[in-house]
Amino acid sequence: DIQMTQSPSSLSASVGDRVTITCRASQDISSWLAWYQQKPEKAPKSLIYGASSLQSGVPSRFSGSGSGTDFSLTISSLQPEDFATYYCQQYNSYPLTFGGGTKVEIK
Amino acid sequence: QVQLQESGPGLVKPSQTLSLTCTVSGGSISNGNYYWSWIRQHPGRGLEWIAYIYYSGSTYYNPSLKSRVTISIDTSKNQFSLKLSSVTAADTAVYYCAGDGRGDGYFDYWGQGTLVTVSS
């Protein structure tokens, strides 16, 4: 199985901050990487696919980058509705696997 | 807009079989673009992919659960289902159904999730 490691596991930030979350795969996954946002008691919401393509309807302050084994999700200017947990997921090969999550909290 | 809704018992006894159904609305489950999956999330923890099924009946299981899992599809009801046998407390989780509209493993549609507790 491909292991996905996210860092940090949590962070505190203020509205307006630029936030970057990283995700590392245990082997080369090309650009087969997705990012999801999950709020408490809610299902994950699709944000980014193909490492950098924005899902329709997702604000442009979200961006993704990377390829191979190292990836990042950046929120350019954190908004109140962005406080949530973010997960990366590889879909290079089965079984599909997710990172452990990064919780973005209000400072 | 495709919508998914999980249903099934919220409480299952140890050693019994967990059974859940996902009803798809706003689109046909037989849409050849879609692969349909089950994913679970243990309380306070990350996400674990369980299995997928294609409308043709083709399936793929996570090897970690394969011996206990069956996924099936009923195109006449626009539903797909999960059965997990011999459950233990470790199977307590929120179970999500999800749709992969690109056929590549990226989930663009998710159900709201249903909590299943394994307890006597």
Residue B4: pLDDT band by 50, 70, 90 thresholds?
very high
Nearest residue, CB atoms, A87 vs list B46, B63, B108: B46
pLDDT at B44: 86
Please answer yes or no on whether A87 and B96 come within 8 Å at the CB atom.
Answer: no
Which residues in chain A show pLDDT less than 70?
none
Please answer yes or no on whether A42 and B105 come within 8 Å at the CB atom.
Answer: no
Provide the mean pLDDT of chain B.
Answer: 96
Residue B30 neighbours by CB distance under 10 Å: 14
Q: Tell whether the model's pLDDT for residue B103 goes beyond 90.
A: no
Q: Does B117 touch chain A (CB under 8 A)?
A: no
**C-alpha to C-alpha distances, B30 to A97, B39, B71, B76, B88, nearest whole angstrom:** 26, 20, 15, 9, 33
Residue B97: pLDDT band by 50, 70, 90 thresholds?
very high
pLDDT at A9: 97
Q: Which two three-digit tokens encode residue A37?
A: 């946002």
Please answer yes or no on whether A91 and B105 come within 8 Å at the CB atom.
Answer: yes
Q: What is the mean pLDDT of residues B73-100?
A: 97
For residue A50, with 0-12 CB atoms within 10 Å meaning exposed, 13-18 middle and 19 or more buried, which class applies? Answer: middle
Q: Tell whether the model's pLDDT for residue B64 goes beyond 90.
A: yes
Q: Does B3 touch chain A (CB under 8 A)?
A: no
Q: Tell whether the model's pLDDT for residue B92 goes beyond 90.
A: yes
What b-and-e string marks burial along B36-54, b requiring 16 or more CB atoms within 10 Å of the CB? bbbbbbeeeebbbbbbbbb
- pLDDT tens for residues B11-53? 999 999 999 999 999 999 998 889 999 999 999 889 999 999 9
- pLDDT tens for residues A11-40? 999 999 999 999 999 999 999 999 999 999
Please answer yes or no on whether A34 and B107 come within 8 Å at the CB atom.
Answer: yes
pLDDT at B61: 98
pLDDT at A53: 97
Pick among A94, A97, A102 to test the B interface (most B CBs inside 10 A): A94
Q: Tell whether the model's pLDDT for residue B58 goes beyond 90.
A: yes
Q: What is the mean pLDDT of residues B92-108?
A: 95
Please answer yes or no on whether B63 and A95 come within 8 Å at the CB atom.
Answer: yes
Give how far A26 is from chain B: nearest CA, Å: 17
